[in-house]
Copies of this chain bind each other. A is one copy, B any other.
């Protein structure tokens, strides 16, 4: 998606360790109009009439997933990352490693809200090692629902998470795949 690539080149910063900072429009201050155009772009890759639900993981994925779900008038489910008093009963769980926070976290989705009849579009703003995506796909499998695919805004191609998902046969659509950071080069 050219607009997204242009914004990354214009406003993104590369920090030590290959971290790409796009927090002015994607994951801290969020340009909601851009996210709505990203939602429209996903509609060119996935049959959104078929989708019954959009699934993401807290926290930053919630912004994009909400706007994608709203765009197509679908419900959105976000996997929680810690057990709170507000979740009870049966849970789908998947343990992932968060490179952002340097620790294992467990993704949790209540069994009440994801069913074998669901057709799920997984959405996230960012993918590096693909751990969150892997965990979300695992939860879809546990629920018996159908995974339509994964819509991702920015993929750090050089960290391999996206390619592992593609090799597993998953329909992954990343709108900007960054293959190197010095300077930023898109696939």
Contacts and interface: CB of A to CB of B under 8 A. Distances in A.
B28 A73 contact: no
A117 interface: no
Interface of A: 15, 17, 19, 21, 23-24, 27-33, 35-36, 53, 58-60, 62-63, 66-67, 69-70, 73-78, 80-82, 84-88, 100-101, 109-110, 112-113
A98 to B, nearest CB: 9
A60 to B, nearest CB: 8
A85 B30 contact: no
B28 A87 contact: yes
A29 B23 CA distance: 26
Nearest to A27: B86
A42 to B, nearest CB: 15
Contacts of A62: 58-60, 62-63, 66
Contacts of A87: 23, 28
A90 B88 CA distance: 38
Contacts of A100: 84-86
A77 B32 contact: no
Contacts of A66: 30, 32, 35, 62-63, 66-67
Contacts of A59: 58-59, 62, 78, 80-81
A32 B75 contact: yes
Contacts of A35: 66, 70
B28 A77 contact: yes
A69 to B, nearest CB: 4
Contact of A33 (B58, B73, B80, B82): B73
A53 B109 CA distance: 31
Contact of A70 (B17, B32, B82): B32
